[in-house]
Amino acid sequence: MPRVSLRRILALGLLLGACPVLAQQLVIGSGSQLSLGDATLQAGCADLRVDGIVNIAAGSLLGAGDVRVDGVLEGGSGTLALSGDLAAPGLVPQSGTVRIASGCASAGSTLTGEHLFNRLSVENTTAYALVLPSGTTQTINTGLVLQGGVERLVMRSTTPGAVSLLLLLSGGSQSIARVDAIDVGAPEPGQYLAEVDPASIDSIDRGNTPRFLGVMGSDTPVPLPTLNGFWLGVLVLLVGVPAVRSLRSRAVT
């Protein structure tokens, strides 16, 4: 199986950074494999496609646009940073970090399918939306960061009204602030996410966010108000008098 020269990849990364219009995609083809070791590869806002094998190891793969992994992407202990869409069924998280952040003129990131992350960080400095696939669960092992900047981090589902789930395993850390969410929740047995008054973390809960944003139990049904004695008597009369008249009418006939 041929190996891609890291020197050539780094040179290509420099080219992508200098000429983003000319080079739009960095491809690790089927049958190729790349290990970063402890190196840093700058993708220069180009899309990354992995059909072969990439091992981030202790390095960093930064500045990617969209990332698609149909081969294998091993997270190692390093960092994968992107600002576009993510479709990575071949992601093997190991002890690495996936960082999704605003940049490269991207307005947001849409995830396709289910993923397993070791640590997931989503942050924005400009207007940015994280769109999660409805009816799926994104699982995070050790740490979750959801952090808005000047603009809140907008969180939505691909299908309005259908919940997308973020499962942070027990023992994992969470840091959540300045988010604007609807149709995003957290399933059991994972952690309740941001179990506080949303206003206390400068966030907006727009509804349909089970076990996310708010104090646990606050989303229980609100009981109907009870009637005092006077209005209860009125209700009895309204219901009872017609019934009595009906019975009398039947008795006469």
DSSP labels, 166-209: EEEPTT-EEEEESEEESSEE--TTSPPBS-S-GGGGT-EE-S--
Tokens of 13: 């990364």
128 vs 6: CA distance, rounded Å? 33
Q: Residue 32: is its pLDDT beyond 90?
A: yes
How confident is the model over 79-108, as pLDDT tens digits?
Answer: 999 999 999 999 999 999 999 999 999 999
Burial (0-12, 13-18, 19+ Cβ within 10 Å), 33: middle
The predicted model scores a pTM of 0.79
Tokens of 244: 């009595």
Enumerate long-range contacts of 188-191, CB under 8 Å, 24 or more apart. Answer: 190/166
The overall average pLDDT reported for the chain is 85
Give the list of residues 6+ apart from residue 84 with CB closer than 8 angstroms, or none. 47, 64, 65, 66, 67, 104, 106, 109
Proportion of the chain above pLDDT 90, given as a percent:
75
Q: Which residue has the higher pLDDT, 17 or 109?
A: 109
Please give the pLDDT value at position 215: 86
Q: Residue 150: is its pLDDT beyond 60?
A: yes
Helix ranges restricted to H, the chain = 6-18, 229-252
How confident is the model over 219-253, as pLDDT tens digits?
Answer: 543 333 454 555 545 444 544 545 445 545 555 55
Please give the pLDDT value at position 216: 79
